[in-house]
């Protein structure tokens, strides 16, 4: 389930209430998500994309680093099929930078442990995490994945 909330400067965002919904959305193959610390207010927006071979289970993680929220992303690292986030030789940020640490924390807690910490807000912008289409069905908005795409997500 989601809580509809506004975030300054970005428009309407949908907030996940369960770790399972957040995990399925994130690993669906075409997800854009924003993590926000309820403690500090810091937020980061990430793209998590599947390689051309969707069955590989790995995902490429990039961080929004510029003003254009459709193209200004910088590669951070790789999300493995088991949910582990790791840096690669192509990573463009230091492993101790806040955005890298934040995504690593998210991956550990949500993707590996299956819990959604109270202090962590995970949001999407109302687009399917697999195909990127705008979501209109309330149940799909809650999940972050459309009715056709959910058939392909386990």
**Confidence check: pLDDT of 5 > 60:** no
- Chain segment 15-48, per-residue pLDDT in tens: 998 999 999 999 999 999 999 999 999 999 999 9
Helices and strands: H and E segment counts in the chain: 3, 8
Contact yes or no for 152/130 (Cβ under 8 A): yes
CA distance 49 to 149: 15
Considering only CA atoms, which of 15, 30, 19 is closest in space to residue 122? 15
Per-residue confidence band for 52, with pLDDT thresholds at 50, 70 and 90: confident
Instruction: Determine if the pTM surpasses 0.75.
Output: yes
Burial of 59 (0-12, 13-18, 19+ CB in 10 A): buried
Per-residue confidence band for 57, with pLDDT thresholds at 50, 70 and 90: confident
**Confidence check: pLDDT of 154 > 70:** no
CA distance 77 to 85: 7
Give the model's pLDDT for residue 54. Answer: 64
CA distance 128 to 117: 23
- Chain segment 75-113, per-residue pLDDT in tens: 999 999 999 999 999 999 999 999 999 999 999 999 999
Considering only CA atoms, which of 74, 66, 26 is closest in space to residue 50? 26
Give the model's pLDDT for residue 12. Answer: 60
CA distance 92 to 19: 28
Q: State the pairing for strand pair 43-49/30-37.
A: antiparallel
CA distance 145 to 36: 21
Mean pLDDT of the chain: 89
């Amino acid at each position: 389930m989601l809580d509809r909330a506004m975030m300054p400067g970005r428009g309407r965002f949908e907030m996940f209430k369960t770790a399972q919904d957040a995990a399925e959305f994130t690993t669906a193959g075409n997800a854009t998500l924003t993590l926000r610390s309820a403690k500090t207010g810091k937020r980061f927006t990430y793209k998590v994309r599947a390689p051309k071979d969707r069955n590989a289970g790995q995902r490429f993680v990039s961080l929004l680093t510029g003003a254009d929220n459709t193209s200004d992303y910088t590669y951070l690292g790789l999300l493995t099929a088991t949910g582990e986030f790791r840096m690669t030789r192509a990573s463009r940020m230091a492993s101790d930078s806040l955005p890298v640490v934040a995504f690593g924390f998210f991956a550990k807690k949500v993707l590996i442990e299956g819990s959604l910490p109270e202090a962590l807000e995970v949001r999407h912008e109302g687009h399917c995490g697999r195909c990127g289409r705008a979501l209109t069905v309330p149940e799909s908005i809650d999940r972050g994945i459309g009715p056709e795409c959910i058939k392909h997500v386990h």
